[in-house]
Amino acid sequence: MKPIYSTAGDWVALLDEGEGRLYDTRGEWIAWLDGREVYTRDGEYVGFLAEDGRVLRERVRPQRPLRPVPPSTPNIKPPARVPLPPYFAELPWNQVDVFDEEPEVFRFVSERRPDWED
């Protein structure tokens, strides 16, 4: 498990690199990766995993279609502590840190998710 930090230096998530899954600091599955692209549990595009380990997105992002969601995964037991965060370079003007700007995107059901009607 690799710790993920925000630009502010807060520990915000854990990355299971083998499975391509992101877990919050309580061990709950919050997102999954397709390559370096990050999607919520509902299949909504959030941003991308940068080389330095932050989850970033373009400041102005085009709307993307919802992706099919992989099967759910059980919660994990996160470590009690993680290493100190690295020093991050300043972001270019056209990128924002998802965990600094809109961390709630991982906590709520997507508004674009279809209703459960048949």
Reported as a pLDDT band with limits 50, 70 and 90, residue 26 is: very high
Q: Report d(CA 118, CA 116) in Å as an integer.
A: 7
Residue 115 belongs to some domain of the structure: no
Question: How many residues in total does the chain contain?
Answer: 118
Q: At a CB cut-off of 8 Å and minimum separation 6, what does 11 contact?
A: 3, 4, 5, 25, 82, 85
- Structural domains counted in the chain: 1
Residue 117 belongs to some domain of the structure: no
Reported as a pLDDT band with limits 50, 70 and 90, residue 73 is: confident
Joined tokens for residue 79: 């470590």
What is the pTM for the complete model shown?
A: 0.84
Owning domain of residue 85: 2-106
Q: What is the pLDDT of residue 63?
A: 82
Residue 10 belongs to some domain of the structure: yes
Reported as a pLDDT band with limits 50, 70 and 90, residue 113 is: low
Residue 40 belongs to some domain of the structure: yes
Residue 94 belongs to some domain of the structure: yes
The DSSP code for 98 is H
Q: What is the pLDDT of residue 7?
A: 94
Mean pLDDT (whole number) for 67-71: 88
